[in-house]
Amino acid sequence: MFETLFSYPGVLRRHREGPLAAERAGYLEGLVAQGAARATVLRRANSCLWIARELQRWPREHRFRAAEVEALAAAWAAGRVAGGQAGAPRWPREQFRFAAFDFLKGLGRLIPPPAPPPGRYDAQLEEFIAAQRQGPWSSPATCENRRWHLRRFLTYLEQQGCALARLTAEHLDAYLAHTAQTWSRVSLRSVASALRPWLRHGEAQGWVRPGLADALLVPRIYRHAGLPLGPTWDQVGRLIAEVHGDGPLPLRDRAILLLLAIYGFRSGEVRRLRLDDLDWRRGRLRIVRSKSGRPDTLPLDPAVGNALARYLRHGRPESESRTLFLTVRAPFRPLSTGALYHVVQHRLPPAPAPRKGRGPHALRHACARRLVDAGLSLKAVGDHLGHRSPDATRLYAKVDLAALRRVALEDLGGLT
């Protein structure tokens, strides 16, 4: 392994004859197999050699805690700065710390961080989530969202020293006031959507006082406050047209943007696409809906199919992963929620605050409005978007009605 990285005899001898040579070579071979860039492997090789020498000062059975690894990283960074190899200690320390944790973990000489202590009400929370999963919260994404909100609320109660049995309406008001400092009205309504069924369940189980669910005050959401935001269809067309080039990044991003705009897919539906979901022979695309978990088979649009084919042939890195869209830099892995948001957000033109409607869901809204404007029925639009209820689709009709109302007012204004 070292022979492929180093050409100078002295450097090669230093790495080959240093301590833990076999372990270091195996670790570097694993990085290469993951597709890591040569510069990354060279940097890790130097870090691992320094770590291997440092390990000689410790007993063989010693396993390192996180604080000890931090101390090693600080010493490494200080040496790099003192030797003129780095201008500031931050990035050498960050890079070394990542390599040290990874290498020591592979050697079995890292003490894993302790698991967070179980919450006081974890058992009750999981019981509640399991009950809701059989009813209105059938989507895993909804369950995870509600669990996050409830954990946040229960953590707040712990910090305030308040047990569930002593919970009052004043505590609920205080929590909403605390959350409202940084959250919008719509977000606060999401909090209430998690808390109200939790409080009703707790009341039925005798965990909380009766009447708290009805005492929960929720801010009013004004009639058009929840209308979908996002670019117009013309803006979407310009956005996609500007993504051109033969590099891995534009090829991947163009395919993603077309999926979001033409099919109105949700972020998770795009991120979960796999190579097996593309049926090239029949010209079909398989997908699992995020909210219902229902599989759908859709016709493969020619423009989308061409973009996907170009990405697979010339843009997608070689990887054992069956996930369709991967990062463009090694180690290659499926896209995160934030990465997919960035694909859309940074390509949209600047907009004044508040900066809403600038992620993947904005293209879903644009797709829906385009279909409504084209005269399709709400049923057809809902089927295209994968809605389970016509009420979800009716929201986009409000957008169209708002536009019609503006036109009517302008015409009437000429008659008075």
Tens of pLDDT, residue by residue over 166-216, are 989 898 888 888 888 877 777 888 888 889 989 999 899 888 888 888 888
Instruction: Please give the domain boundaries of the chain with CATH numbers for all domains.
Output: 2-107 (no CATH), 125-215 (1.10.150.130), 233-356 (1.10.443.10)
Q: What percent of the chain has pLDDT over 90?
A: 9
- Work out the mean pLDDT of the chain and round it to a whole number: 80
Stretch 32-49: mean pLDDT, rounded? Answer: 82
Per-residue buried b or exposed e for 134-168, using 16+ beta carbons within 10 Å of the residue's own CB: eeebebeebeeebbebbeebbeebeeeebebeebe
What's the pLDDT score for residue 398? Answer: 58
CA distance 297 to 52: 53
What's the pLDDT score for residue 310? Answer: 93
Q: What is the pLDDT of residues 397-410, one digit of tens each?
A: 555 544 444 444 34
- Three-state SS at 62: coil
Q: What is the pLDDT of residues 131-166, one digit of tens each?
A: 888 877 777 778 888 888 999 998 888 888 888 889
pLDDT value at 350 more than 80: no
pLDDT value at 351 more than 60: no
What's the pLDDT score for residue 405? Answer: 43
User: Which residues are tagged catalytic?
Assistant: 266, 291, 361, 364, 387, 396
What's the pLDDT score for residue 354? Answer: 43
Confidence band, pLDDT 50/70/90 cuts, at residue 298: confident
pLDDT value at 300 more than 80: yes
- Half-sphere exposure in the Cβ direction for 146 (13 Å, CA): 24
pLDDT value at 102 more than 80: yes
Predicted structure pTM score: 0.59
Contact indicator for 99, 77 with CB cutoff of 8 Å: no
Confidence band, pLDDT 50/70/90 cuts, at residue 395: low
Confidence band, pLDDT 50/70/90 cuts, at residue 244: confident
Q: What is the pLDDT of residues 224-240, one digit of tens each?
A: 455 555 677 888 888 88
CA distance 275 to 160: 49
Stretch 278-298: mean pLDDT, rounded? Answer: 86
Stretch 248-273: mean pLDDT, rounded? Answer: 89
Contact indicator for 318, 326 with CB cutoff of 8 Å: no
Confidence band, pLDDT 50/70/90 cuts, at residue 374: confident
Contacts of 258 (CB under 8 A, 6+ apart): 240, 301, 303, 304, 307
pLDDT value at 272 more than 60: yes
